[in-house]
Amino acid sequence: MAQAARVPIEGTPNPRRRLELQVGAHTYLRIPVHTHVVTEEDDIVEVVASYAGPLVHPGDIVFVSEKVVAITQGRAVPVEKIRVSLLAHLLWPRVTKVEYGVGLRSPYSMQCAIDECGALRILLAAAVGALGKLVGRKGDFYRVAGKQAAMIDAAGTAGIDAFKGSVIKGPRDPDQVAQRIADRLQIGAAVVDVNDIGGSWAVGAARGVDRALVEAALKDNPLGQGAEQTPCGILRRAD
Alpha-carbon distance of 24 to 171, in angstroms, equals: 30
Alpha-carbon distance of 184 to 238, in angstroms, equals: 23
Q: Which amino acid is at 171?
A: P
Q: Domain segments of the chain: what residues? A: 2-73+171-237, 76-168
Q: Average model confidence (pLDDT) for the chain?
A: 89
Tell me the pLDDT tens digit for each residue of 186-235. 999 999 998 867 678 999 999 999 999 999 999 988 888 777 899 999 99
- Total-model pTM: 0.88
Alpha-carbon distance of 108 to 99, in angstroms, equals: 19
CATH topology classification for 2-73+171-237: 60s Ribosomal Protein L30; Chain: A; (3.30.1330)
Q: Band the pLDDT of 139: cuts 50, 70, 90.
A: confident
Q: Band the pLDDT of 16: cuts 50, 70, 90.
A: confident
E-state strands within 55-178 = 61-65, 76-78, 166-168
Alpha-carbon distance of 118 to 135, in angstroms, equals: 26
Amino acid 239: pLDDT: 77
Q: At what angle do helices 107-117 and 119-134 cross, to 10 degrees?
A: 120
Tell me the pLDDT tens digit for each residue of 105-125. 999 999 999 999 999 999 999
